[in-house]
Amino acid sequence: MLVTRPTIGSTFMTSGEKTSRAVGTLVSTLCACALAIVPSAFSHAGSNTGVELAELMQKLSAVRAAGGKFTERKYLSILNEPLILEGTVHYRAPDYLKKEYDDPDSESYEVRGDNLTIEFPDGRRRDLSIDEHPILRAFVESYRGTLAGDLETLRRHFELELGGYMDAWQLRLTPRTPELAERLRAVVMRGREGTVTSVETLEGNGDRSVMTLESSSE
């Protein structure tokens, strides 16, 4: 069912990628290329003529469920090599999100509304609110808000900056509060039509992580 569209790669490269990390760019680009599988994307002709925020949000909000395998790479200054994590994410409109890792020793994370449930490998569960840490809410809202096409929520937490085209857009979210900005410089979402293909997190200390999604419609 996977369809690759190598020609999009160039579009991505021109759409404002600023990082100097060539490896990271390459990886995320390649992964993003390998992802776009929403059938409607094929038939959409006018996707090379710039992108409007409202239109993008509408497209995103039309998707009621999404998910699939992901690969996450964390580039941390304290590490010699990136941490590579693989797993699955699930999203259901409007506010359900689940992240599981392939590593059987890892916890899984499930968000419903404001509640985050962490399930440990031994079956223990811990419930907490995403309000318990400002950065946690920022992480959740950036990703979930984008998937839901919830402009209001996104604007409440972030300054938005949209670039690219409908079949290769990039939405940069910058935290509004300085305290948060100290820990989280920005979150950059990339996608194609109503599908998010990668999430890049830029931390305050220069660390960075990129999660690329290999989406399948649910």
Partner 1 sequence: MNRQRLAAGLWLAGLAAAFLWALFETTVRNDMTSFMPRAATPEQRLLMNELRAGPVARLTVVTLGGASRERLAELSKQVAARLRAGGLFVRVANGEQLFDDAERERLFRYRYLLSPAVRAERFSVDSLRMALEKRLRELASPVPSFDRPLLAQDPTAEMRAMLNAWRGQAQPRSLRGVWFDAEGQRVLLLAQTRAPGFDLDAQERAQQAIREAVGDGSVELGMSGPGVFAVTSRDVIRADTRRLGITAAVVAIVILLVSYRSMRLLLIGALPLLSAVAAGVIAVDLIFGAIHGIVLAFGVTVIGVAIDYPIHLFSHLNAGEPVRRSLAGIWPTIRLGAITTAMGYLAMSGTDFPGLMQFATFAIAGLLTAAACTRWGLAGLLPERYVPKYSSPIADWYARSLRPGLVWGGLMVFAGVVALAFLVSRDHAPWEDDIAALSPIPESVMARDRHLHAQLGVPDTNHVLLVKAPDAQAALQASEALARDLRQLVADGVIGSFELAARYLPSVRTQRERQRSLPEPARLSKDLAQALAGTPFKQGAFAPFEKAVATARTLPPLLPRDLEGTSLGLRVRSALLTVDGGWVALITLAGVKDAQALRSRLSRHRNQGLIYLDLKRDTRRLMADFREHASTRVLWSVLAIALVLWLGLRSARRTFTVLLPGFIAVIIDVAILRLTGELLSLFHLVSLLLVVGISIDYGLFFSRGDADAGMRGRTFHGLTVCVLSTVSVFGILATSRLPVLNAIGTTVAVGVALSFLAAMLLARPAPARGSSQSP
The contact set with partner 1 (CB under 8 A) reads 74, 76, 78-81, 83, 85, 99, 106-107, 109, 114, 116, 118, 129, 131-137, 139, 183, 204-205
Query: Which residue, 52 or 132, is less far from partner 1 as judged by CB?
Result: 132
CB of 218 to partner 1, least distance (A): 21
CA 50 – CA 125 distance, rounded (Å)? 45
CA 165 – CA 163 distance, rounded (Å)? 7
Query: Which residue, 55 or 132, is less far from partner 1 as judged by CB?
Result: 132
Query: Which residue, 18 or 124, is less far from partner 1 as judged by CB?
Result: 124
Do residues 7 and 167 make contact, with C-beta atoms less than 8 angstroms apart?
no
Query: Which residue, 19 or 117, is less far from partner 1 as judged by CB?
Result: 117
CB of 66 to partner 1, least distance (A): 18
CB of 131 to partner 1, least distance (A): 4
Angle (CA) 88-3-84 rounded to 5° is: 35
CB of 182 to partner 1, least distance (A): 9
Neighbours of 57 (CB within 10 A): 22
Q: What are phi and psi of 82, to 5 degrees?
A: -65, 150
Query: Which residue, 13 or 79, is less far from partner 1 as judged by CB?
Result: 79
CB of 126 to partner 1, least distance (A): 10
Q: Tell me whether residue 20 is exposed, middle or buried, using C-beta atoms within 10 angstroms of its C-beta: 0 to 12, 13 to 18, 19 or more.
A: exposed
CA 22 – CA 14 distance, rounded (Å)? 14
CB of 193 to partner 1, least distance (A): 26
b (16+ CB within 10 A) / e for 59-96: bbbebeebbbebbbbbbeeeeeebeebebbbebbbebe
Do residues 136 and 155 make contact, with C-beta atoms less than 8 angstroms apart?
no
Query: Which residue, 116 or 213, is less far from partner 1 as judged by CB?
Result: 116
